[in-house]
Amino acid sequence: MKGFPTTLVERADQVAVIAGDRQLTYAELDARASRLAHALANRGAEAGGRVGTVLPNRVEVVEALAASAKVGAANLALNWHLKSDELAWIIEDSGVAVLVADAAVRAEVETANRPAGVPVLWVDDDYEEVLAAAPATPLPYVWPTSWPVLYTAGTSGRPKGVVHGGMAAPEIMETAQDGLAAMWGYTAEDVHLAAGPLYHAGPAGYANTTLYVGGTVVVMESWGAEDFLRLVDAHQVTTTFVTPAHLIRLLELPAETWDRYDLSSLRHVLHAGAPCPVTVKQRIIEALPRAEVWELYGMSEGGATRVSAEEWLARPGTVGLPWPGVEVRICDPDSREELPTGTDGIIWVKPAYGRFEYHNDQAKTDEAWSDDRFTVGDIGHLDADGYLFLTDRQSDLIIRAGVNLYPREVEDVLYRHPAVVDCAVFGIPDERDGEHPMAVVETRSAVEPEELSTWCRERVDGYKVPVRIELVDELPRDPNGKVLKRRLREAAWASAGRRI
């Protein structure tokens, strides 16, 4: 296995991970991971199984990942913000053999774990004593014969478990890791800032890629816009992965705050996770003139396209061209036949490395695939040069009196108003027309809904103007910063006495 073992020979004294006032070299990480692997095996972890973690961003997340690899088990990072009922469902569905959990969420984890009775190793309880008592015998890293389940938010309630079974073979996984590092130019000299929660595929994936090539990962224990700038300066960070929500918060900082920090080391900023408003993208490119600002379009099911700042400035709004080995096709939602250039349709992706499946859900898997291509229901079109433009998600589509209305178009207009920080547009029930658009808007300065309504009416067709605009101090978000549009939609429908 490449990655950690190679790094231990060449970079043993190199700092592998930093979180707060703690840091571990690769040699220290290896030694602690071996002890933890022995402890996990003693609690039921084995090759081909799964080890679950319920941890906030901290050093132990990386230790558990490394220890799982020494056992030969797949590592499954669970969202530590989940309440007990949803956590219980994931524990049962995933089949984890053992959990490493933060003592701060003991009550939720114990309640969730009661039906399954999975052994739990508690961090900040007797964790250090357990490691000290475990054998110090070094263990090698091995590729797991199973693959982790990546749980992604579902549109119908329960999270969907994504399993990339086609990548479980060691040679395929090595090729994929090598290809990812080469595509983004990650090297052992990089210092990567993990700005999002490490149970999300994006933040975890690019932190893991950094470790794979022997770089240093700086873990943000919790998000703060100025903390981000401070950590870039303090650790001479070179790469990071963020979401548009992070970019919005950074741009909210006054110029004098930016001026306090040296950001010259930052060479590569990658953002994804949600559509980025055009105005936000333009401003962050201007704010970070020395960094390469890249955007990717992908999902837990697989990566699809990427675009550099130069390409984006030439085609504002595009999410780019396909990754190496990936193909993108736009098809009619009903016939699944390919549509002409410039025509909106369902985005189908042919991945570079085999098929995924939805864990324990063959019907949903079959629905997602057509031959060797998959879709998650996103809508978009290709231009004459093959650049992809996202229109919206099929699940967010509003149908008003039989006419399709894409919320993202209205959101992009609202973003351009100087008082708007962020917004969410979605459909609410109407007896005559079926649905009408509504907007919930987070503002930075005083503004009236009527002003925003007029702003929209001057820039989009009248039927697209939200019939109701609600102003809030802060939109509800998941821990990675993504607006929880479904929660807003459900509340609006409930107030109308309807269910989605």
* Dihedrals phi, psi of 21, to nearest 5 degrees: -95, 15
The size of the chain, in residues, is: 500
Categorize the per-residue pLDDT at 151 as very low, low, confident or very high, splitting at 50, 70 and 90: confident
Arithmetic mean of pLDDT, 125-152:
87
User: Where is pLDDT greater, at 261 or 334?
Assistant: 261
Distance in angstroms (rounded) separating the CA atoms of residues 126 and 294: 42
- pLDDT for res 275: 85
Closest CA to 124 of 217, 80, 60: 60
Assess contact for 469 and 452: CB atoms under 8 A: yes
Q: Share the mean pLDDT of the chain.
A: 91
Closest CA to 130 of 16, 62, 57, 41: 41
What CATH number did the domain enclosing 489 receive?
Answer: 3.30.300.30
Q: Say whether pLDDT at 156 is over 50.
A: no
Q: At what angle do helices 407-415 and 278-287 cross, to 10 degrees?
A: 50
Which of 202, 230, 255 is the last residue before a domain boundary? 202
User: Where is pLDDT greater, at 166 or 450?
Assistant: 450
Q: What is the DSSP letter of 189?
A: T
Residue with tokens 């009619």: 332
**Is 236 inside any structural domain?**
no
- pLDDT for res 348: 98
Arithmetic mean of pLDDT, 107-116:
96
Which of 174, 202, 230 is the last residue before a domain boundary? 202
pLDDT digits (tens, 9 = 90+) for 439-464: 999 999 999 999 999 999 999 999 99
pLDDT over 70 for what percent of the chain? 94
What CATH number did the domain enclosing 148 receive?
Answer: 3.40.50.980
Q: What is the gyration radius of the CA atoms in the chain, in angstroms?
A: 23
Q: What is the H or E stretch that residue 239 is in? A: strand 239-242
**Is 329 inside any structural domain?**
no
Distance in angstroms (rounded) separating the CA atoms of residues 265 and 423: 32
Q: Say whether pLDDT at 37 is over 90.
A: yes
pLDDT digits (tens, 9 = 90+) for 468-496: 999 999 999 887 778 889 899 999 888 87
Arithmetic mean of pLDDT, 287-293:
97
- pLDDT for res 158: 73
CA–centroid distance for 14 within its chain = 28
Categorize the per-residue pLDDT at 270 as very low, low, confident or very high, splitting at 50, 70 and 90: very high
**Is 432 inside any structural domain?**
yes
Ranges of beta strands (E only) in 336-433 are 345-350, 357-358, 369-370, 373-374, 378-382, 388-393, 398-400, 403-405, 420-430
Assess contact for 154 and 78: CB atoms under 8 A: no
pLDDT over 90 for what percent of the chain? 77
SS3 content of the chain, % helix, strand, coil (to 5): 35, 25, 35
- pLDDT for res 9: 59
Number of structural domains the chain divides into: 2
**Residue 149: strand pairing partners:** 163
**Is 306 inside any structural domain?**
no
What 3-state class would DSSP assign to 330? strand
**Is 469 inside any structural domain?**
yes
**Is 213 inside any structural domain?**
no
Residue range(s) defining the domain that contains residue 94: 4-202
Q: Say whether pLDDT at 21 is over 90.
A: yes
Which of 12-21, 148-157, 197-206, 303-312 has the weakest average pLDDT?
148-157
pLDDT digits (tens, 9 = 90+) for 340-394: 999 999 999 999 887 899 999 999 999 999 999 999 999 999 999 999 999 988 8
Which pairing describes strands 292-299 and 268-271: parallel, antiparallel, or unpaired? parallel
223: its two tokens: 């998000």
**Is 73 inside any structural domain?**
yes
Which of 202, 232, 266 is the last residue before a domain boundary? 202
User: Where is pLDDT greater, at 77 or 7?
Assistant: 77
**Is 304 inside any structural domain?**
no
Distance in angstroms (rounded) separating the CA atoms of residues 55 and 57: 6
Question: What separation, in Å, do the N-terminal and C-terminal C-alpha atoms of the chain show?
Answer: 48
